[in-house]
């Protein structure tokens, strides 16, 4: 028996040696390395390369393993093994991570290092801050436009969409694409609803809606504007039948993440239009057949209203427990530099953080898309865009998850649109009440925002039962 | 004579034993007992990973939040007391029915008849109630259908008991309790849910999902038993000496026919018809050869020859069918001959190994495979459905499977049954079958019992303990399961339809960061599993056959 144990021990020791030898090598002498949790976008290599050039003695290594997975990130940071710089993909995630104590407060350093909110788009101010404190700085900035495949439109003999169009006209364009025969005998989708939360958000914001009241105490997703948006969404799928249902889209999409199914579907010329940011251009390198075939226009708007839409940012924050805080602050400084912004423009990785480098479509021309007319709508969209509003009284990621479920239920015809959203609003409002009841720091925030002392019956004035 | 046992040697022995067990004990203490105790304590706190939330003891609040109800506007305590009282009477009725059956109380037949009537009424309610397109209403309908069905079956089982008259007695009381409880719930249902709502409606939805996914358990168990019966005996590989040689000659002739037709005919119509005819003749020859091989002697040479020739048949079949432009059918044909070759070479062991493969294949890999199978547009399942439909002149469309709310759970059930059917349950049944006394089977043969009779009166009762164990373990696994499927395949959707309690615990703990609440859900799930196991243990042991 002891021979068996000895053999097992020797095997374990051998495996340990192999494991140690396959670990990442330590950084060279004199180089401080930081870990940057971001997605596996191929442009990251150039971005980290430029950082190393500009900041001698520092090195940023991409960690794509987290892949935007909030759960993994929280667990890693809670156990002290988290990355140094964290890409926070939207303000919902930012609010959630701030409340989890993951992100470092950047406010004391922002001015000194030159990455304050004044150094980027004014529209993003609320998207970078929580309770007046800054927690991240943009890596790139997005506002959506409708990107269309000119070849699909030509194939069906449908005129290209134009700026200043309404959602009703958008339905008509979709219908024309679906009803006009394809000269090449192919089957195309008019529109790919690849992100239902975004599309709903664009409709709702354009209608003039808010997710929460100004004080954040009441969810407004049962308002007339919200019900209009969700009804339009539903009708586009089941009444006008111009948008594939979730089931149809799921059958086309094999997986998520960078380079996922829906990108391939559009890039393979199966879809006429898609709502997306300028960062789609990163794909063109891998789908050269799309070069010269892309067009972009502003999002449609509601009749009688000015065009507007959502904006947000993939922005970097710093892990509050990072042992390389100084290096991480320099990384954020690098993100605010014109050199980095120019690289973003060149790579087509959405809009750069520095607005002075993206003041017109001409300035955004790159090798993937040399036509300034493609880029101009994105510049215009940033001028009118606004981030979605949040409430500090409920976790934003929970709201987003529940919103996604409600949209799922509508898309799958499990619930009628108005029922789904009334139920959603009731649930959110109830959770706000419970959170206020149980968390004293939220009660203090209530008093700050309303100027009234907190009482258990506060909600009767604000929310329906 | 051995060495004398001294105190010193005894304590050295004890030390050696302790040293041997220590790592395991420490592991158990550190990685099992301590986390369990911690999670129990956490369930009574508001532990949250958010630094702004101070840790405090909250008593039973997490549990009341989970399974309690709250007034929509104004409370109606009498109504809720009556409603939950009716639910309590119903549960008491259920347990006492089981007890009455076990204890052979007088009047159980009359009680059974009452339960049949109740089950029929519940089924009628499920069919006749107004349809509302809400998931909750669908869940209620499913629950009513299942409850009604179980009621009818259980009632029939009681009502057809032998050796008892149709007089009421103590055994009728449980049925009366059931009827009273069901009536109370039915009368008060509308008023109750008009005034109250669950505090955590998601918990009940996910509990329903978890219970629904357990529908596959009886099918899995039955399938495992059927498979075990099939693979319990060796293949009939015995017969006369000239078998393999004759088989080889026939196969060679069949291959030659196909080659000649293929070469001579080419791609003309005659060629295609000829090739198809040759393939048909070859198929007949192959079948004949297989039958002969099966009857051939189980000697080494015959076995090797048979195996090689089966492999050759597979290659030829694949080549022919590929030539006809049917790659999927070619692969199927090749697999058929590969299985035949393995059976000739290794006998029944080959099939036991193949059926057990899914059990030791990585679960995530299997799930990714099934996700591809279930693709509504390109997945082989829907392609096969459409192909068969086209062949029959029908326009058949497969369902959307994982992308569809009504089909997502059945899809997971089918996958679960496929995975489990040849797994550990099959092995347990094989072990059980090997313990069935042969003298009982011989006696049944002498009495002229049919195969079904032998199974029903000899094999099935002897497998009682095995079935009991498998049932308990399957129920425990079913209540705990569903996490990997939700995480890998569906994300818990669409519309939360595949989120189970285990996935809900994960979401609450690591997405909402509410560890205290997640711990409470875990302990409620533990209580459910404990009660189910206890009931099974108490009443299911009746199946056990005394040796």
DSSP symbols for B120-167: HHHHHHHHHSPP---HHHHHHHHHHHHHHHHHHHHHHHHHT-SS--S-
Interface test with B, best of A197, A412, A430, A443 (most B CBs within 10 A): A412
pLDDT value for A254: 47
Which CATH number describes the domain made up of B356-543? 1.10.3720.10
Domain layout of chain A by residue ranges: 27-143+312-384
pLDDT value for B88: 92
Least confident of A340-354, A420-434, B3-17, B239-253: B239-253
pLDDT value for A344: 93
**Size (chain A), residues:** 465
Give buried/exposed letters for A416-454 (b at 16+ CB in 10 A, else e).
bbebbbbbbbbbbbbbbbebbeebeebbebbeeeeeeee
In this complex, do A401 and B511 lie within 8 Å of one another by their Cβ atoms? yes
Nearest to A99 among B52, B72, B493 (CB): B52
Could you tell me the two tokens for A140?
A: 């790139």
Query: If you ran DSSP here, which 8-state letter would residue A212 be given?
Result: B
pLDDT value for B257: 59
CA distance B352 to B234: 11
Q: What digits encode the pLDDT tens for the residues B275-300?
A: 666 667 666 666 766 666 566 555 66
Q: What digits encode the pLDDT tens for the residues A15-52?
A: 999 998 888 788 788 889 999 999 888 889 999 999 99
Q: What are the mean pLDDT values of chain B's consecutive 10-residue runs (547 residues total)? A: 71 88 93 95 91 88 93 87 92 88 84 91 80 57 81 87 79 91 90 90 92 92 94 69 55 61 57 64 65 60 74 78 75 82 83 88 91 87 89 86 89 93 92 91 89 90 91 94 91 89 93 91 95 84 54
End-to-end CA, chain B:
40
Is residue B396 classed exposed, middle or buried when 0-12, 13-18 and 19+ CB atoms within 10 A define those classes?
A: middle
Instruction: Answer yes or no: are the C-beta atoms of A63 and A38 closer than 8 Å.
Output: yes
CA distance B536 to B525: 16
Which residues of chain A neighbour B400 with C-beta distances below 8 Å?
247, 250-251
pLDDT value for A244: 83
Could you tell me the two tokens for A129?
A: 């801050």
Q: What is the rounded average pLDDT for all residues in chain A? A: 89
Instruction: Answer yes or no: are the C-beta atoms of A321 and A178 closer than 8 Å.
Output: no
Is the pLDDT at A426 greater than 60? The verdict is: yes
Whether chain A has a CB inside 8 Å of the CB on B441: the answer is: no
pLDDT value for B275: 61
CA distance B291 to B297: 12
Residue matched to tokens 């380079």:
A259
In this complex, do A78 and B49 lie within 8 Å of one another by their Cβ atoms? yes
pLDDT value for B240: 45
pLDDT value for A238: 92
Whether chain A has a CB inside 8 Å of the CB on B195: the answer is: no
3-class SS of residue A32: strand
Q: How far is B356 from chain A (nearest CA, A)?
A: 27
pLDDT value for B391: 84
Is the pLDDT at A200 greater than 80? The verdict is: yes
Q: How far is A101 from chain B (nearest CA, A)?
A: 6
The proportion of chain A whose per-residue pLDDT surpasses 90, expressed as a percent, equals 63
Domain layout of chain B by residue ranges: 76-197, 243-346, 356-543
Place A381 in a pLDDT band, splitting at 50, 70 and 90: very high
CA distance B50 to A128: 20
Could you tell me the two tokens for B386?
A: 């459409």
Tell me how many residue pairs between chain A and chain B have CB atoms under 8 A apart.
84
Q: The whole model's pTM is what?
A: 0.83
State residue A264 phi and psi, 5-degree precision. Answer: -65, -40
Instruction: Answer yes or no: are the C-beta atoms of A413 and B403 closer than 8 Å.
Output: no
In this complex, do A100 and B50 lie within 8 Å of one another by their Cβ atoms? yes
Task: Kindly identify which residue of chain B lies nearest to residue A74, measuring between CA atoms.
Answer: B510
Query: If you ran DSSP here, which 8-state letter would residue A245 be given?
Result: -
Could you tell me the two tokens for A286?
A: 């891998």
Q: What digits encode the pLDDT tens for the residues A103-151?
A: 999 999 999 999 999 999 999 998 999 989 999 999 999 999 999 999 9
Q: What torsion, rounded to 10 degrees, do the Cα atoms B143, B144, B149, B152 define?
A: 140
pLDDT value for A256: 45
In this complex, do A414 and B49 lie within 8 Å of one another by their Cβ atoms? no
Backbone conformation region of residue A57, classed left if phi is above 0, alpha if psi is from -120 to 50, else beta: left
Task: Report how far apart, in Å, the C-alpha atoms of B215 and of each of A368, B417, B479, B483 are.
Answer: 54, 10, 11, 17
- Identify the CATH homologous superfamily for domain A27-143+312-384: Periplasmic binding protein-like II (3.40.190.10)
pLDDT value for A246: 64
Q: Which residues contact A208 (CB under 8 A, 6 or more apart)?
A: A225, A302, A305
Reading across the β-sheet that carries A145-149, which strands appear in turn?
Answer: A189-192, A271-276, A145-149, A294-297
CA distance B160 to B97: 15
């Amino acid at each position: 028996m002891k021979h068996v144990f000895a053999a097992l021990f020797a095997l374990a020791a051998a495996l340990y040696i192999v494991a140690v030898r396959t670990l990442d090598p330590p950084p060279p002498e004199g180089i401080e390395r930081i870990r940057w949790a971001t997605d596996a976008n191929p442009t990251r290599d150039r971005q980290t390369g430029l950082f190393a050039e500009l900041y001698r003695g520092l090195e940023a290594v991409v960690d794509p393993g987290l892949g935007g997975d909030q759960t993994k990130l929280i667990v890693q940071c809670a156990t002290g093994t988290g990355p140094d710089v964290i890409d926070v993909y939207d303000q919902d995630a930012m609010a959630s991570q701030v409340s989890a104590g993951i992100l470092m407060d950047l406010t004391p350093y922002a001015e000194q290092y030159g990455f304050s909110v004044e150094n980027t788009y004014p529209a993003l101010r609320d998207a970078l801050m929580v309770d007046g404190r800054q927690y991240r700085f943009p890596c790139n900035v997005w506002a959506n436009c409708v990107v269309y495949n000119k070849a699909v439109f030509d194939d069906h003999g449908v005129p290209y969409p134009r700026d200043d169009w309404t959602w009703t006209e958008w339905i008509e364009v979709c219908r024309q694409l679906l009803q006009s025969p394809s000269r090449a005998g192919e089957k195309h989708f008019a529109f790919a609803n690849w992100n239902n939360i975004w599309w709903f958000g664009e409709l709702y914001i354009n209608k003039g809606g808010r997710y929460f009241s100004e004080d954040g105490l009441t969810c407004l997703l049962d308002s007339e504007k919200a019900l209009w948006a969700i009804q339009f969404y539903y009708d586009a799928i089941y009444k006008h039948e111009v948008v594939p249902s979730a089931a149809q889209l799921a059958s086309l999409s094999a997986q998520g993440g960078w380079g996922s199914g829906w990108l391939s579907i559009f890039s393979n010329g199966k879809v006429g239009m898609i709502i997306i940011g300028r960062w789609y251009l990163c794909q063109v390198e891998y789908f050269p057949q799309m070069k010269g075939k892309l067009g972009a226009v502003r999002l449609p708007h509601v009749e009688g209203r000015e065009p507007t839409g959502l904006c947000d940012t993939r922005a970097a924050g710093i892990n509050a427990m990072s042992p390389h805080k100084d290096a991480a602050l320099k990384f954020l400084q690098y993100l605010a530099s014109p050199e980095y912004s120019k690289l973003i423009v060149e790579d087509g990785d959405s809009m750069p953080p520095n607005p002075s480098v993206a003041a017109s479509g001409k300035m955004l021309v790159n090798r993937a898309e040399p036509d300034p007319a493609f880029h101009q709508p994105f510049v215009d969209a940033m001028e009118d865009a606004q981030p979605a509003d949040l409430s500090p009284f409920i976790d934003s990621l929970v709201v987003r998850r529940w919103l996604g479920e409600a949209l799922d239920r509508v898309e799958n015809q499990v619930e009628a649109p108005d029922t789904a959203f009334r139920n959603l609003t009731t649930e959110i409002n109830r959770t706000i009440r419970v959170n206020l009841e149980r968390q004293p720091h939220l009660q203090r925030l209530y008093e700050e925002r309303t100027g009234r002392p907190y009482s258990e019956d506060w909600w009767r004035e604000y929310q329906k039962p | 004579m051995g060495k004398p046992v001294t105190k010193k040697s005894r304590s050295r022995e004890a030390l050696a034993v302790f040293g041997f067990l220590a790592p395991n004990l420490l592991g158990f203490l550190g990685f099992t007992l301590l986390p369990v105790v911690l999670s129990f304590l956490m369930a009574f706190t508001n532990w949250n990973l958010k630094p702004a939330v101070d840790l405090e003891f909250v008593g039973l609040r997490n549990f009341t939040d989970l399974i309690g109800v709250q007034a929509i506007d104004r409370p109606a305590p009498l109504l809720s007391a009556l409603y939950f009282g009716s639910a309590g009477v119903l549960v008491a009725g259920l347990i006492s029915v089981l007890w009455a059956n076990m204890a052979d109380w007088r009047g159980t037949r009359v009680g059974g008849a009452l339960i049949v009537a109740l089950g029929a009424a519940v089924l009628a309610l499920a069919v006749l109630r107004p349809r509302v397109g809400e998931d909750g209403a669908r869940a209620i309908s499913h629950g009513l259908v299942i409850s009604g069905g179980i009621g009818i079956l259980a009632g029939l089982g009681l009502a057809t008991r032998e050796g008892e008259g149709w007089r009421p007695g103590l055994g009728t009381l449980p049925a009366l309790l059931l009827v009273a409880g069901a009536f109370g719930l039915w009368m008060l249902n509308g008023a109750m849910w008009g005034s109250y709502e669950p505090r955590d409606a998601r918990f009940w939805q996910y509990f329903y999902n978890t219970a629904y996914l357990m529908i596959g358990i009886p099918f899995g168990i039955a399938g495992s038993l059927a498979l075990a019966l099939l693979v319990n005996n060796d293949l009939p590989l015995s017969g006369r000496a000239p078998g393999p040689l004759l088989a080889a000659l026939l196969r060679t002739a069949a291959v030659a026919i196909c080659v000649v037709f293929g070469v001579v005919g080419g791609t003309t119509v005659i060629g295609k018809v000829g090739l198809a005819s040759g393939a048909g003749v070859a198929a007949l020859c192959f079948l004949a050869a297989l039958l002969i091989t099966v009857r051939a002697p189980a000697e080494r040479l015959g076995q090797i020859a048979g195996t090689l020739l089966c492999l050759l048949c597979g290659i030829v079949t694949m080549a022919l069918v590929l030539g006809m432009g049917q790659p999927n059918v070619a692969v199927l044909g090749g697999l058929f001959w590969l299985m035949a070759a393995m059976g000739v070479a290794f006998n029944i062991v080959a099939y036991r190994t193949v059926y057990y493969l899914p059990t030791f294949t990585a679960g995530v890999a299997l799930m990714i495979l099934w996700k591809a199978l279930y693709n509504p547009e390109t997945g082989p399942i829907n392609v096969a459905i459409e192909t068969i439909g086209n062949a029959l002149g029908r326009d058949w469309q497969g369902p959307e499977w994982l992308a569809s709310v009504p089909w997502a759970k059945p899809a997971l059930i089918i996958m679960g049954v496929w995975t489990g059917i040849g797994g550990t349950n099959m092995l347990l049944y094989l072990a059980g079958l090997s313990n069935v006394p042969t003298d009982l089977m011989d006696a049944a043969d002498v009495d002229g019992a049919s195969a079904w009779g032998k199974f029903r009166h000899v094999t099935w009762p002897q497998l009682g303990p095995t079935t009991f164990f498998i049932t308990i373990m399957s129920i425990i696994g079913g209540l705990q399961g569903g996490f990997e499927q939700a995480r890998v395949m569906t994300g818990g959707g669409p519309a939360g339809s595949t989120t189970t309690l285990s996935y809900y615990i994960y979401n609450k703990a690591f997405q909402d960061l509410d560890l205290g609440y997640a711990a409470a859900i875990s302990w409620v799930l533990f209580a459910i599993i404990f009660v189910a196991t206890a009931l099974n243990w108490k009443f299911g042991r009746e199946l056990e056959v005394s040796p």
